Structure 1
Amino acid sequence: MKIRAQALLFDNDGTLVSSLESVHRCWTRWAGEYGITAERFGKVELHGRTAAEVAADLLPAHVVPEAVARIEDLEVEDVPNGGVHLLPGTLDLLGALPSGRWAVVTSATRRLAEARLAAVGVLPGTLIAADDITRGKPDPEPYLLGARALGADPAACVVFEDAPAGLRSGRAAGMTTVALTTTHPAAELDADLVVEDLSALSVQVIDGVVEISARD
């Protein structure tokens, strides 16, 4: 299968990098600080959602702003502790793309996303973060904003995601979707193409069009 695109839009955590160790460490501490039981916390989906959405599920509205600031501080401070690393294929694939033809679209705050990306040497020219949006994934707004920032037609964009909410966001934006089974099993991922990680893909540019295909 070959996919042709004007622009490529990448989720960050679970797609370009893995931060599962850091997320578990920080959110477990955060939940304890706010008196949230392990049973209740275990029922909340963290991946692919903004911290504000997660906090709103667990805490009274008047506490949410303070709680969101706290988890951001914990996660940013934890970056140097080794809980963030590149996923296979990330640098090779990004290095094959023309400048200005890809962006990172993440549910993390800009401060946290930049800290994690800088830690692994990835410096996107365009970054859409939780600070930039009013409605997070699965709403199409984040990916539509990413396409707009790159000057690309949404119908000619490809979204790379590991989470169901992110894939729904990409599809709602009218984009082609590629799912990575880095955090969820393939059965939970509804996408045009499902692969293990970015190392399973090859990219070439032909007449100004980015062509993506699965490796044999």
Structure 2
Amino acid sequence: MKLQARALLFDNDGTLMSSLRSVRRCWTRWAVEYGVTEADFARIELHGRPSAEIVADLLPPEKVAEAARRIEDLEVADAEGTEALPGTVALLAGLPAERWAVVTSATRRLARARLSGLGLHPRTLVAADDITRGKPDPEPYLLGAAKLGFAPGDCVVFEDAPVGLRSAQAAGMRTVALTTTYPRAELTADALVPDLSAVSVQVSGDFLEIVTED
């Protein structure tokens, strides 16, 4: 599959990196502290959503602010428990810094901690702190495109989660789905790849020429 874009937008967790082991450790500890059960988690959508929204689905309103701060503190302290997914470092190293951004459901503090731990320092980052409505609302990706200075239709989004793909598609952007977290049958996108090692990007004047190996 070949796609052409002027800018690229990347989800973070599950797309550029994996924090699965860290997330499990932190949320397990958090759940014990707040009396949240596996059944409670099973009834809501988790991956690709801001932690504050997840907390709000699990706890009474008066506990949400403190509990959201607590899970952020736990995850920041455990930020070294992440790893870059295949292809991430090489792909980003070849992109002009002003032509790509990270659009994450994590807070800016947590996202920076995880990315910097992997030696990744995106010039443009959209985090949960920047938005009022998280994925699947189009707001996060629309803001990412605006920060880079490109129209939504000029952007291609890389995502691993259905909720993130719906966000990008609602923003009018083309999508590449990674099967790092969900099976192919649950992902709807213009192209599907196992991870970013199956993606190459060449700069051609004002355009980025994207080739995916499916």
Q: State the TM-score bracket (shorter-chain normalisation).
A: over 0.9
Query: Which residue number corresponds to residue 71 of structure 1?
Result: 71
Tell me the distance in 2 between the aligned counterparts of 1:136 and 1:215: 30
Query: Which residue number corresponds to residue 181 of structure 2?
Result: 183
| TM-score in terms of structure 2 length | 0.98
| Paired residue type of 1:76 | V
Where do 4+ consecutive residues of structure 1 move more than 4 Å?
none
Q: Which aligned pairs between 1:153-172 and structure 2 lie closer than 5 A?
A: 153-172=151-170
Q: Structure 2 regions of 5+ residues with no counterpart?
A: none
Tell me the distance in 2 between the aligned counterparts of 1:211 and 1:152: 16
Q: 2:91 aligns with which of 90, 93, 98?
A: 93
What is the alpha-carbon root mean square deviation over aligned residues? Answer: 1.0
Q: Structure 1 regions of 5+ residues with no counterpart?
A: none
Deviation at 1:47, TM superposition (A): 0.8
| TM-score in terms of structure 1 length | 0.97
Tell me the distance in 2 between the aligned counterparts of 1:182 and 1:44: 21
Tell me the distance in 2 between the aligned counterparts of 1:43 and 1:85: 28
Deviation at 1:41, TM superposition (A): 2.2
SS at match of 2:78: helix
Tell me the distance in 1 between the aligned counterparts of 2:96 and 2:78: 32
Deviation at 1:38, TM superposition (A): 2.2
Contact 1:93 1:202 in 2 (8 A): yes
Query: In the TM superposition, what whole-angstrom CA distance separates every residue of 1:11-54 from its partner, at most 9, and x where no partner exists?
Result: 00000000000001101111111011222223333210001110
| Paired residue type of 2:92 | L
| Paired residue type of 1:4 | Q
Tell me the distance in 2 between the aligned counterparts of 1:9 and 1:200: 17
Query: Which residue number corresponds to residue 32 of structure 2?
Result: 32
Please state if 1:145 is matched with 2:136: no
SS at match of 1:100: helix
Tell me the distance in 1 between the aligned counterparts of 2:38 and 2:205: 54
SS at match of 1:174: coil
Contact 2:97 2:122 in 1 (8 A): no
Contact 1:31 1:41 in 2 (8 A): no
Tell me the distance in 2 between the aligned counterparts of 1:9 and 1:56: 27
Deviation at 1:116, TM superposition (A): 0.2
Deviation at 1:208, TM superposition (A): 2.2
- Aligned residue pairs total 214
Tell me the distance in 2 between the aligned counterparts of 1:152 and 1:162: 23
Query: In the TM superposition, what whole-angstrom CA distance separates every residue of 1:147-189 from its partner, at most 9, and x where no partner exists?
Result: 0000001001001000000000000000000000000001101
SS at match of 2:144: helix
| Paired residue type of 1:35 | G
Tell me the distance in 2 between the aligned counterparts of 1:147 and 1:41: 32
Tell me the distance in 2 between the aligned counterparts of 1:34 and 1:41: 12
Contact 1:2 1:214 in 2 (8 A): yes
Tell me the distance in 2 between the aligned counterparts of 1:37 and 1:165: 23
Tell me the distance in 2 between the aligned counterparts of 1:215 and 1:50: 31
Q: 1:198 aligns with which of 171, 196, 199?
A: 196
